[in-house]
Structure 1
Amino acid sequence: MRLMVYSHDAFGLGNIRRMLAICQYLVQTVPDITILVVSGSPALHSLRLPSGVDYIKLPCVGRDQAGELTVKFLETEVQETIKLRSEIILAAATNFKPDLFLVDKKPDGLQGELKDTLAYVKANHPATKLVLLLRDILDCSDVTIQQWQRCNYYQLVEWLYDQVWVIGTRQIFDVCQEYAFPKVIADKVRFCGYIRRSSSGISRSTLRSQLGIQPQDAFVLVTAGGGGDGFELIEAYLMGLAEEKNYPGQLKSLIVSGPEMPLNQRQALLRLSTKHTNVQIREFTDDLINYMSAADLVVSMAGHNTISEILSLRKRAIVVPRVAPVAEQWIRAERMAKLGLFKVIHPQHLTAHRLIQTVLDELVAPDLTQSLQVDMQALPRILNYLSWLLSDHQTVACSFRSSFHSDQIPHLATADR
């Protein structure tokens, strides 16, 4: 069985880490599966890939502070780079010949870079199943509906995709209702629940000992995900530590700034951290789930993966979500905070004093997270959906013929997210 995975990753680590979690589960549970990941994530080479998974690295693109698409490393124009990425993806699909092509978030890829590949697959390998993977929340309803209408995503999903897998639950955010999916698309949607993440390898006690944390100490993990916009959160935490005088014991902290934080910001945080003897700061770790397991409290943003890890471990957490350029993190944080899953601070209300006081309050408050229940069965459900789709994968879909070309795909306007 051959699975090809596309993850554009113009910003952050969330998309690629979510996709690799799915890949790891599948290679552990499906005999004789081989997976090819195609991604532009700059951190891909730093992440652990299980046996049975290989990758093709696309040239990196990102977004500036205004949200505009930029080329990260090459001295090339954006459209020139997108063309290069598009041709690499097409070559990969042509030669790999996947039984199932799993596309993350964007039905036509970043800036439409999947158009030629989708047309090629439908024309030459009509038995190949196409699946769109969506995280629980994309953006607020109005913005997402306008984008899907403008980019003809509704028609594209209706025409080309066999299923839509949503990593989330209808109870927290019903994408079919919120994003006005017509019935023909809603019928393709499968709510999977959230991805359960487990710590592995080193034990909680051993890890705390290695960090110099005594049993009576409080250990706070501060993570900004990819780190591209996490400076204010970490700065507020470090400045708040200067006010911390009331905790009855040692308060020790590990800060993971993220590999995408600009160098000047990382250096500023390092200077701030030297004022605190009980603070360690790192740029990146591939063992974040283990550090989270060892922590008494997590301070983070509200990215889909980070929240999934918090929920998997049932950790007490204080979440400061991103609110721009998309509202996804704020919507997720607000809805889950109302369920009592963690505390949330709107970034407009973030101050050093407020953050550290919330940290101290949470450390001494009763831990109620163990009694909370969230559907974390995404991985076994994905396995079931994949098995069902491919149980008859030799059957040829007769609605597409070899005359199918990319210009027959509905006009795909340039996406702005």
Structure 2
Amino acid sequence: MVYSHDGFGLGNIRRMLAICTHLLDSIPELSILVVSGSPMLHSFRLPKRLDYIKLPCLNRGTSGEFSAKYLGTAIDETVKLRSQLILSAIANFKPDVFLVDKKPYGIRNELQATIEYLKAQLPQTPLILLLRDILDHPDVTIPEWQKHGYYEAIAKFYDHVLVVGAPEIFDIRIEYKLPPKVAQKVQFCGYIRKEFGRKGPNFVRNELRLSPDEQLVLVTPGGGEDGYNLVDAYLSSLALLPASRKVRSMIIFGPEMPSRDQAALEWKAFSYPRVQICEFTDDLMSYIAAADAVVAMGGYNTVCEILSVGKPAVVVPRIKPSQEQWIRAEHLAKLGVVTAIHPDRLTPDVLLRSVLQTLNTPQPKISAPAINLNALPKISQYICTLLAEKRALPFCRTCQPPEQLQNLAIAKIV
């Protein structure tokens, strides 16, 4: 069973679905039940042997405060409803492994009752916390974890902490001052390699009617809820584009961009015949692979997509309600992997100069293979081993158990 933390954008559910899909491909007899409040879950292609329970949606504005997104109910009532749905699901589904995204107690502690039930009624079910590479600035994350008792929760309840990142880029054990009992549970899995899209680059470029001498810039603000400024700055930058440059632009707004913002940007885009726009695609990788350069926000999934195809990119991360995107972009920019622009410095002129420089030097200084992108097989190894320990399933055919767990697993099976 998988709990997908979600309160802003598409990042969490996209990441968790990528993990679930790889697990199902790796472990033939596995079934996965996802509990999530993502309003876009139904829009994705879901693999066989995966089903989901849709929780009432929550929304987290730029202030970081949660509220009910659609229901006219108070936040406490909505969280109570979500909490009871999760508890009922786990009591009836009785998972062999429970994978929790990001927050040890869930949003506003909605998982606490479920975790206590697991330990009392299903003590043989391992509890795994999955963390992305960076949560927020340490000055924010450390006090938040201390306030909510997350260090103690991990030490008491969780068997493993899997980090989809690399310690050489950001080591959460050091940055977030994890106590030794918590730090020893941490395993870095690398970043998530994204599979190539369903359409080849030549097919996409023909679909968009690009001529051979045109360069394609893909603009993607992720889910789009706070992507207006990035897209607006990019459209304004096209007025400064030299007439000699043959650049076509594909802008994907994201399904959560407000209708008013979409309408304003569509109106502005009418002035630029070489701009094509769409609201959403579930095959973003096809367009990233076809592009000569990408202009994007710095969300975890988008960065992984850029790294997976070694695509040159200009990243303009959000800095509210979290510094996570800027910290990631800054670290990758220092490695020469992307060009990063702080949103406070974002102007059409700055953006255009960065885009043209990126188009003129299309190969990143560090190729994607230089960064560990093996998170999915690594996670599958851990899940395979835990299931084998419980004799719920044999080791999957496509992976071997991690060395630190292999001896324990073999001993228990024998």
TM-score between both structures, scaled by the size of structure 2: 0.92
Find the aligned partners of 2:333 and 2:366 in 1 and give their Cα distance: 15
Which residue in the other structure is 1:272 paired with?
268
Match of 2:98 among 85, 101, 121: 101
Find the aligned partners of 2:18 and 2:121 in 1 and give their Cα distance: 30
Q: 1:366 to 1:262 in 2, by over 3 A?
A: closer
**Residue 365 of structure 1: CA displacement?**
2.2
Which residue in the other structure is 2:299 paired with?
303
Letter in 2 for 1:346: H
**8 Å contact kept, 1:315–1:369:** no
> Aligned with 1:259: secondary structure?
coil
Match of 1:212 among 204, 209, 214: 209
Which residue in the other structure is 2:35 paired with?
38
Q: Which stretch has the larger CA shift, 44-53 or 386-395?
A: 386-395
Find the aligned partners of 2:8 and 2:273 in 1 and give their Cα distance: 33
Which residue in the other structure is 1:174 paired with?
171
Which residue in the other structure is 1:263 paired with?
259
Q: Does 1:21 align with 2:49?
A: no
Q: Does 1:254 align with 2:255?
A: no
Which residue in the other structure is 2:181 paired with?
184
**Residue 385 of structure 1: CA displacement?**
1.2
Q: 1:366 to 1:252 in 2, by over 3 A?
A: closer
> Aligned with 2:240: secondary structure?
coil
- Superposed, which structure 2 residues align to 1:3-402 within 5 Å? 4-248=1-245, 250-369=246-365, 371=367, 373-393=370-390
Find the aligned partners of 2:333 and 2:11 in 1 and give their Cα distance: 20
**Residue 21 of structure 1: CA displacement?**
0.3
Find the aligned partners of 1:19 and 1:371 in 2 and give their Cα distance: 25
Which residue in the other structure is 2:399 paired with?
none
**Residue 200 of structure 1: CA displacement?**
3.1
> Aligned with 1:16: secondary structure?
helix
**Residue 123 of structure 1: CA displacement?**
0.8
**8 Å contact kept, 2:127–2:157:** yes
Letter in 2 for 1:343: T
Work out the number of aligned pairs and report it: 391
Which residue in the other structure is 1:400 paired with?
none
**8 Å contact kept, 2:231–2:265:** yes
| Cα deviations by residue, 1:79-124 (Å, 9 ceiling, x for unpaired) | 1000110111111101111000000000000001001111111111
Higher relative contact order (CA 8 A, sep 6+): 1
**8 Å contact kept, 1:127–1:394:** no
Unaligned runs of 5+ in 2: 393-414
Q: 1:371 to 1:305 in 2, by over 3 A?
A: closer
**Between the two proteins, what is the percent identity of the paired residues?**
51
| Cα deviations by residue, 1:145-168 (Å, 9 ceiling, x for unpaired) | 101100000000000000000000
Find the aligned partners of 2:67 and 2:228 in 1 and give their Cα distance: 21
**8 Å contact kept, 2:197–2:284:** no
Find the aligned partners of 1:316 and 1:240 in 2 and give their Cα distance: 18
Q: Which stretch has the larger CA shift, 361-370 or 77-86?
A: 361-370
| Cα deviations by residue, 1:9-36 (Å, 9 ceiling, x for unpaired) | 1101110000000000011110100001
**Residue 369 of structure 1: CA displacement?**
4.9
TM-score between both structures, scaled by the size of structure 1: 0.92
**Residue 371 of structure 1: CA displacement?**
3.8
Over aligned residues, Cα RMSD in angstroms?
Answer: 1.3
**Residue 259 of structure 1: CA displacement?**
1.1
| Cα deviations by residue, 1:239-258 (Å, 9 ceiling, x for unpaired) | 1111111543x211111111
Q: Which stretch has the larger CA shift, 365-374 or 280-289?
A: 365-374
Letter in 2 for 1:98: P
Find the aligned partners of 1:371 and 1:168 in 2 and give their Cα distance: 16
Find the aligned partners of 1:43 and 1:94 in 2 and give their Cα distance: 26
Letter in 1 for 2:277: I
| Cα deviations by residue, 1:323-365 (Å, 9 ceiling, x for unpaired) | 1211101100000100000101010100011111211121122
Q: Which stretch has the larger CA shift, 27-36 or 357-366?
A: 357-366
Find the aligned partners of 1:42 and 1:334 in 2 and give their Cα distance: 30
**8 Å contact kept, 2:336–2:366:** no
Find the aligned partners of 2:20 and 2:200 in 1 and give their Cα distance: 25
Find the aligned partners of 2:191 and 2:121 in 1 and give their Cα distance: 34
| Cα deviations by residue, 1:223-242 (Å, 9 ceiling, x for unpaired) | 00011111100000001111
**8 Å contact kept, 2:4–2:36:** yes
> Aligned with 2:161: secondary structure?
strand
Unaligned runs of 5+ in 1: 396-417
Find the aligned partners of 2:155 and 2:363 in 1 and give their Cα distance: 45
Q: 1:371 to 1:60 in 2, by over 3 A?
A: closer
